[in-house]
C-alpha cells in the first residue's frame, strides 16, 4: 500500500468514528444549520487540547475589538514556536479560515481536522509536517451574525458573520496597506514562521457550474516561478484527481464564464489579495473556494477533504516543497546581489490565456439547468504589461518613517544609510486618481520617467537592498508605476505633484553608491 493510500485509509476510518459529543462542531451538532461563534470556537479548541499530546496553542494576533486570534499547532514531536518548527526540519503547512466571516466553510472544516489530528499522535502526516491552523481569522466579523450577510448562499440557515472586520475593512484587500491589526498579525506570522505552503479557505458564488469547490495558485507572475508552477501545474491537478477518486467531489481552477461562455476567467493578480501577495513573497499558496450554491454540509466536508488531500500530498512531497521554498529565497536574494540587465520585475499585469482550452462543467443557459460541458479558453494566468529592471537597492530620504515602518511590517529588511552616488531619480509625469473611494482610499495610478543623477544621501536616509528573500516584494511595493504598490495606496501622497520628484531613488548597482553609513 502506497504512503498516500495508507494515510487516506487511516484518515477515512478515523473520520468515520463519531467524536465525543462535546467535541462536535457547531455545524455537526446543529445538523448543518448553524456555525460557531467565537466563544464556541475557543471552547471547542480548549476541549480538544485537553485530550491531546500533539496540539499546542498560540496567538496569530489580536483583532480591532481586542479578541485573540487562536493559532493551533499540530506536530509530533510537538512544537510551540516558529523557532521550534524550523529546528524540526519538517515542512510547515498553514491553513486559515473565516477571512470573510460570512464564508464559514473553512472555519468549520479546520475545526474538524483539528479534532481528528489532535487525537492521533501516530498520524503519518506528523513524520514530515508541522500543521498550523487559524480557523477564525476574522473573529470580530464572525460575531456580527445575521441571516442577511450572504444573500444567495445556501446556509447556514441560522446566519453567519459579515464580510469585513469590525472597522468595515476587507481583510483580503489589506495585504499591501496592512491597516488592520489582523492583517499585520497574519503577515508577521508569514515572516516569523515562513510557512512552506498556505491554504486560504473561502466560499464563492459567481457563475453557475458543477464544482463543489474551486481553487487557485498564486497569480502574480512576478513571484518566483518555480513554486508557482509546482502548485499550479503539479500539485493542484494531482489533488483534483485524488479527491475525485476518493470522495467523488469535482473541483477545478477558480473562475467565471464570460457572457458568451467562451472563456473561463480567474480573479485578480493584485497583491492586495492574499494569494498573489504570498506569491510575491516566494511562498506557495492555495486559494480554496467552496461553492456558495452547494449545500452547507457539502461545502464544509469538501473543504475538509480538500485540505486533507493537500496535507497528504505535502507529506509525500515534503522534501521537494522545502527545496523549492529555499530555492525561491536563495535565488531572489542572489538576484539582488548583482542585478542583470535582463532581470525584470512586472509591476502591471493583464489576464492571459493558457495555450490549451479546458473543459468546464457547467449547465445549459436555459431554466432547466441541465448539465452541459463547455470547451473554453482558460484565462487563468497573467502576463506583465509594465516591467522594471531589478535594482540593487532603493533609497528613501529622511522623513518617510511611515513608509519605512510599513516595509518593516511586511518583513522587508531596511537599514540606515548615508553617502553619495549615482542614482535613478523618478519624475512624476501624471497622477490619475480613482473617481471612487475603495477601502477608505482614493487609489492612484502614476506615470513617471527616470534619469541618472549624482546625489548626496544625508544622514537619516534609508537603504532597502533587493538582495533579500523579499526583494521582489520590495520592488513591487516601491516602484511609482506599480499597479498595487505603496504609491497606489496613498503612502506618498504628501510628496507627489505632477512634474515633481518621486521620493524613492533607485540604485542600479552596488558600485554606484559609496556609503559612509550602512547597517
How high is the pLDDT of residue 463? Answer: 98
Bridge pairing between strands 415-433 and 513-518: antiparallel
How high is the pLDDT of residue 11? Answer: 45
Summarize the confidence of residues 262-276 as an average pLDDT. 98
Share of the chain above pLDDT 90, in %: 94
**Would you say residue 15 has pLDDT above 70?**
no
The structural domain count of the chain equals 3
Please check whether residues 176 and 191 belong to one and the same domain: yes
Please check whether residues 174 and 70 belong to one and the same domain: yes
**Would you say residue 186 has pLDDT above 80?**
yes
**Would you say residue 14 has pLDDT above 90?**
no
Summarize the confidence of residues 270-277 as an average pLDDT. 98
Please check whether residues 197 and 240 belong to one and the same domain: yes
Summarize the confidence of residues 177-201 as an average pLDDT. 98
Share of the chain above pLDDT 70, in %: 96
pLDDT category of residue 176 using cuts at 50, 70 and 90:
very high
Please check whether residues 361 and 448 belong to one and the same domain: no
Q: How far apart are the first and last CA of the chain?
A: 55
* Residue 80, helix vs strand vs coil: coil
Please check whether residues 235 and 119 belong to one and the same domain: yes
Tell me how crowded residue 424 is: count the other CB atoms within 10 A of its CB.
20
**Would you say residue 2 has pLDDT above 60?**
no
pLDDT category of residue 12 using cuts at 50, 70 and 90:
very low
Please check whether residues 461 and 370 belong to one and the same domain: no
How high is the pLDDT of residue 367? Answer: 72
How high is the pLDDT of residue 17? Answer: 55
Beta strands in 140-231 (DSSP E): 197-204, 213-216
How high is the pLDDT of residue 368? Answer: 77
Please check whether residues 434 and 358 belong to one and the same domain: no
Summarize the confidence of residues 202-222 as an average pLDDT. 97
Summarize the confidence of residues 211-220 as an average pLDDT. 98
Please report, to the nearest 10 degrees, the dihedral formed by the alpha carbons of residues 321, 323, 325, 327 taken in order. -150
Please check whether residues 305 and 451 belong to one and the same domain: no
pLDDT in tens, 445-482: 999 999 999 999 999 999 999 999 999 999 999 999 99
Domain that holds residue 372: 345-384
* Residue 14: Cβ-neighbour burial (10 angstroms; 0-12, 13-18, 19+): middle
Between 188 and 6, the higher pLDDT residue? 188
Please check whether residues 121 and 222 belong to one and the same domain: yes
Distances (CA, A) of 125 to 49, 108, 114, 130, 374: 18, 21, 13, 8, 38
Cell numbers representing residue 299 in the block? 461545502
Summarize the confidence of residues 398-406 as an average pLDDT. 97
Residue 218 has φ and ψ, to the nearest 5°, of -55, 135
Please check whether residues 233 and 286 belong to one and the same domain: yes
How high is the pLDDT of residue 18? Answer: 63
Average pLDDT, the chain: 95
pLDDT in tens, 89-139: 999 999 999 999 999 999 999 999 999 999 999 999 999 999 999 999 999
Please check whether residues 408 and 365 belong to one and the same domain: no
Summarize the confidence of residues 352-356 as an average pLDDT. 98
Summarize the confidence of residues 487-498 as an average pLDDT. 98
Please check whether residues 135 and 249 belong to one and the same domain: yes
How high is the pLDDT of residue 3? Answer: 35
SS3 letters for 415-439? EEEEEEEEEEEEEEEEEEECCCCEC
Residue 124 has φ and ψ, to the nearest 5°, of -60, -20
CATH number at residue 134: 3.40.630.10
pLDDT in tens, 285-328: 999 999 999 999 999 999 999 999 999 999 999 999 999 999 99
Amino acid at each position: 500500500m502506497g504512503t498516500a493510500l495508507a494515510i487516506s485509509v487511516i484518515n477515512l476510518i478515523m473520520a468515520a468514528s463519531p467524536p465525543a459529543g462535546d467535541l462536535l462542531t457547531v455545524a455537526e451538532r446543529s445538523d448543518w444549520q448553524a456555525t460557531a461563534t467565537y466563544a464556541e470556537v475557543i471552547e471547542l479548541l480548549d476541549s480538544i487540547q485537553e485530550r491531546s499530546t500533539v496540539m499546542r496553542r498560540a496567538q496569530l494576533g489580536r483583532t480591532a475589538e481586542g479578541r485573540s486570534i487562536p493559532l493551533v499547532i499540530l506536530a509530533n514531536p510537538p512544537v510551540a514556536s516558529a523557532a521550534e518548527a524550523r529546528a524540526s526540519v519538517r515542512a510547515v503547512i498553514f491553513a486559515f479560515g473565516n477571512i470573510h466571516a460570512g464564508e464559514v466553510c473553512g472555519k468549520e472544516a479546520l475545526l474538524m481536522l483539528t479534532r481528528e489530528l489532535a487525537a492521533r499522535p501516530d498520524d503519518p502526516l506528523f513524520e514530515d509536517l508541522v500543521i498550523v491552523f487559524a480557523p477564525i481569522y476574522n473573529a470580530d466579523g464572525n460575531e456580527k451574525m445575521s441571516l442577511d450577510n450572504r444573500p444567495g448562499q445556501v446556509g447556514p440557515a441560522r446566519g453567519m458573520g459579515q464580510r469585513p472586520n469590525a472597522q468595515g475593512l476587507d481583510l483580503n484587500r489589506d495585504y499591501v496597506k496592512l491597516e488592520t491589526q489582523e492583517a499585520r498579525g497574519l503577515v508577521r506570522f508569514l515572516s516569523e514562521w515562513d510557512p512552506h505552503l498556505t491554504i486560504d479557505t473561502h466560499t464563492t458564488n459567481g457563475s453557475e457550474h458543477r464544482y463543489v469547490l474551486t481553487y487557485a495558485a498564486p497569480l502574480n507572475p512576478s513571484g518566483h516561478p518555480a513554486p508557482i508552477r509546482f502548485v499550479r501545474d503539479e500539485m493542484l491537478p494531482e489533488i483534483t484527481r485524488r479527491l475525485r477518486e476518493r470522495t467523488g467531489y469535482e473541483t477545478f481552477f477558480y473562475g467565471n464564464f464570460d457572457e458568451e461562455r467562451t472563456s473561463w476567467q480567474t480573479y485578480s493578480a493584485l497583491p492586495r489579495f492574499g494569494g498573489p501577495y504570498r506569491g510575491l513573497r516566494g511562498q506557495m499558496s492555495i486559494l480554496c473556494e467552496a461553492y456558495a450554491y452547494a449545500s452547507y454540509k457539502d461545502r464544509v466536508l469538501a473543504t475538509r477533504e480538500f485540505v486533507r488531500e493537500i496535507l497528504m500530498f505535502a507529506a509525500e512531497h515534503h522534501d521537494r516543497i522545502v527545496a523549492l521554498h529555499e530555492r525561491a529565497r536563495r535565488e531572489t536574494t542572489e538576484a539582488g546581489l548583482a542585478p542583470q540587465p535582463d532581470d525584470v520585475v512586472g509591476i502591471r499585469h493583464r489576464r492571459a490565456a493558457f495555450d490549451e482550452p479546458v473543459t468546464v462543467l457547467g449547465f445549459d443557459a436555459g431554466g432547466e439547468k441541465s448539465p452541459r460541458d463547455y470547451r473554453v479558453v482558460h484565462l487563468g494566468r497573467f502576463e506583465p504589461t509594465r516591467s522594471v529592471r531589478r535594482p540593487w537597492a532603493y533609497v528613501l530620504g529622511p522623513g518617510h518613517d511611515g513608509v519605512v515602518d510599513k516595509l518593516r511590517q511586511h518583513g522587508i529588511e531596511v537599514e540606515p544609510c548615508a553617502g553619495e552616488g549615482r542614482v535613478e531619480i523618478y519624475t512624476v509625469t501624471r497622477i490619475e486618481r480613482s473617481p471612487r473611494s475603495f477601502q477608505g482610499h482614493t487609489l492612484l495610478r502614476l506615470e513617471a520617467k527616470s534619469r541618472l543623477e549624482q546625489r548626496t544621501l544625508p544622514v537619516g536616509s534609508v537603504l532597502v537592498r533587493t538582495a533579500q528573500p523579499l526583494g521582489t516584494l520590495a520592488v513591487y511595493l516601491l516602484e511609482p508605476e506599480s499597479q498595487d504598490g505603496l504609491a497606489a495606496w496613498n503612502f506618498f501622497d504628501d510628496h507627489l505633484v505632477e512634474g515633481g520628484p518621486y521620493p524613492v531613488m533607485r540604485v542600479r548597482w552596488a558600485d554606484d553608491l559609496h556609503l559612509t553609513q550602512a547597517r
